[in-house]
A and B are shown apart, each in its own frame.
Chain A
Amino acid sequence: DADVTQTPRNRITKTGKRIMLECSQTKGHDRMYWYRQDPGLGLRLIYYSFDVKDINKGEISDGYSVSRQAQAKFSLSLESAIPNQTALYFCATRPEGGGTDTQYFGPGTRLTVL
């Protein structure tokens, strides 16, 4: 079973709709991240969380919100979706300390906003 799962894997929605993307992990990591990937732009950080009570904005947080419901769950919401939020969204996790820099990525959610 995958350690980091994302649901849904694909979603098509209309402008103005509220959308929630979910991420769950079984790795027991404290740190979780949401990125979006756009062609030619690489990955850009939207939000990150170091634990349930510690949530921080990334470089492109406008138009997004997050919820860390538990250590294992980190959801990304688009309150009112717009077409330029069409992208591939990735969740990632990382353990606290332990001397490792490795982030573990989920398989991604492809979101299309019409």
Chain B
Amino acid sequence: GDSVTQMEGPVTLSEEAFLTINCTYTATGYPSLFWYVQYPGEGLQLLLKATKADDKGSNKGFEATYRKETTSFHLEKGSVQVSDSAVYFCALRSTGFQKLVFGTGTRLLVSP
């Protein structure tokens, strides 16, 4: 079945450091790919998405590129802030299905 694999956390960075959170997937067809973010005490919010190969999703300084050849959708940010501290979830939706499949989440901790 479809699945999403994320790097384990926590990822601990200093403010203004470069961030990469790895995400790879297994799916049939051409899934849509997502990054959701969960801030402390809150529900998940969509951060960015990409619906076809080579698409780049971006939002709030975060970017991720849909790489079909490597089945990856890595999340990057050039300069993290303390306010980026949260749990980040990679997810996919397979073609023709209405359900999301989530990765296990990666906690990001950014210190001043």
Q: Which residues of A contact B (CB under 8 A)?
A: 4, 31, 33, 40-45, 48, 50, 58, 90, 92, 94, 101-103, 105-108
- Chain A CB count within 10 A is highest, among B42, B44, B103, B105, for B44
- Complex CA gap A103/B92 in Å reads 12
- Complex CA gap A58/B102 in Å reads 13
Q: Which residues of B contact A (CB under 8 A)?
A: 32, 34, 41-46, 49, 51, 89, 93, 98-100, 102-105
Contact of B105 among A42, A101, A108 (CB under 8 A): A42
- Given A40-B104, A42-B105, A102-B46, A48 contacting B99 (CB threshold 8 A): yes
Within 8 Å CB of B44, what residues of A? 43, 90, 92, 103, 105
Q: Which residue of B lies closest to A2 (CB)?
A: B43
Q: Which residue of B lies closest to A106 (CB)?
A: B43
Q: Which residue of A lies closest to B101 (CB)?
A: A45
A44 to chain B, nearest CB (A): 8
Q: Provide the main secondary structure of the chain A interface.
A: strand
- Complex CA gap A50/B105 in Å reads 26
- Complex CA gap A41/B42 in Å reads 18
- Given A42-B89, A90-B44, A107-B41, A101 contacting B34 (CB threshold 8 A): yes
Contact A41 B104 (CB under 8 A): yes
- Complex CA gap A48/B42 in Å reads 21
Within 8 Å CB of A58, what residues of B? 99
Contact A4 B104 (CB under 8 A): no
Contact B103 A42 (CB under 8 A): yes
B52 to chain A, nearest CB (A): 12
Within 8 Å CB of B100, what residues of A? 43, 45, 101, 103
Closest 6 CB pairs of A and B: A105-B43, A42-B104, A43-B102, A42-B102, A105-B44, A102-B46
Q: Which residue of B lies closest to A35 (CB)?
A: B102
B57 to chain A, nearest CB (A): 11
Within 8 Å CB of A102, what residues of B? 46, 49
Contact A4 B99 (CB under 8 A): no
Within 8 Å CB of B45, what residues of A? 105
